[in-house]
């Protein structure tokens, strides 16, 4: 039985991963900034003996360290750390973005991952069995650029460098560093970062998202198994490969998919 800490795991992909790790028989530390959200998520997971909920603001190093300490105090060690927490700005050109949105996105996506990796690597070096640390990719990680996604994409692009650099720093140690790339997953974050375009642009984007996208329930079982099985330093675990994307487009005329309708019906969408 392993212990896995996932930042930003009170909803979306993070909560989906928590559910899958539990299904596989492991222990999970669920974190989020809101005590109410953490409480609701842990209650929903309904495995009190194997779930610990911790309020953690990844933008604050002391809060990240406290999450590690709480996990170790409860379960004795943390074997896998996944820096999943992320937010997005409004779909607005950089010149027109409020400064607080820029700050929040950089602090959460980039600094939050840096702090998480620092705390996890430092802690795992002192564990006999070491551990695994994962960054989390997103739009922009591969260098693709879109207007209105400059800040979010920049933070995710930076994580490619961070993962590669940390893999070199941890080479020859008992700590493995890798990245998880879920592809396009139907979450609040996806919808929030995709909208804000004119109606014609949104309909075009919506068609592409429905072709290439997947649900949390489809992607997270595979990601969880691959994360546990990873043995290569610096490995990138990617769900949506170029071959898979090409196959989706090739069959899209015959196989209609709709992953967004249910998500779009939800009220009060927010990611900050």
Active centre residues (catalytic): 152
Instruction: Kindly state the helix (H) or strand (E) to which residue 40 belongs, with its residue range.
Output: helix 35-45
- What the block records as the tokens of 218 is 């489809």
Instruction: Tell me if residue 215 falls in helix, strand or coil.
Output: coil
Tell me the C-alpha distance between 116 and 101, whole Å: 21
N-to-C CA span, the chain: 34
Cα–Cα distance measured from residue 56 to residue 179, given in angstroms and rounded to the nearest whole number: 21
> How is residue 231 written in tokens?
């043995």
Give yes or no for a contact between 102 and 89, defined as CB atoms under 8 angstroms apart. yes
d(CA 137, CA 202): 23
CA nearest to 83, candidates 34, 128, 138, 25:
138
Tokens representing 159 are 């994580």
β-partners of residue 135 are: 179
The torsion angle over the Cα atoms of residues 33, 34, 37 and 42, rounded to 10 degrees, is: 70
């Amino acid at each position: 039985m392993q212990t896995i800490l996932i930042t930003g795991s009170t909803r979306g992909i993070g909560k989906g991963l928590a559910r899958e790790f539990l299904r596989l028989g492991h222990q999970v530390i669920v974190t989020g900034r809101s005590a109410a959200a953490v409480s609701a998520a842990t209650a929903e997971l309904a495995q009190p003996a194997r779930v610990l909920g911790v309020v953690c603001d990844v933008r604050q190093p002391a809060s990240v360290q406290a999450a590690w300490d709480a996990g170790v105090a409860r379960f004795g060690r943390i074997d896998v750390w996944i820096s999943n927490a992320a937010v997005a700005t409004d779909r607005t050109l950089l010149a027109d973005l409020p400064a607080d949105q820029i700050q929040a996105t950089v602090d959460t996506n980039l600094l939050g991952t840096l702090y998480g990796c620092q705390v996890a690597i430092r802690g795992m070096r002192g564990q006999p069995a070491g551990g695994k640390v994962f960054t989390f990719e997103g739009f922009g990680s591969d260098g693709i650029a879109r207007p209105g996604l400059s800040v979010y994409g920049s933070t995710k692009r930076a994580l490619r460098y961070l993962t590669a650099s940390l893999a070199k720093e941890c080479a020859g140690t008992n700590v493995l560093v890798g990245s998880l790339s879920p592809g396009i997953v139907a979450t609040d974050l996806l919808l929030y970062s995709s909208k804000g375009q004119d109606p014609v642009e949104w309909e075009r984007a919506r068609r592409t998202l429905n072709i290439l996208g997947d649900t949390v329930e489809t992607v997270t079982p595979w990601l969880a198994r691959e994360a546990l099985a990873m043995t290569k330093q610096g490995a990138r675990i990617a769900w949506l490969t170029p071959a898979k994307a090409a196959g989706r487009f090739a069959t899209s005329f015959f196989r209609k998919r709709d992953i967004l309708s249910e998500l779009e019906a939800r009220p009060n969408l927010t990611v900050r």
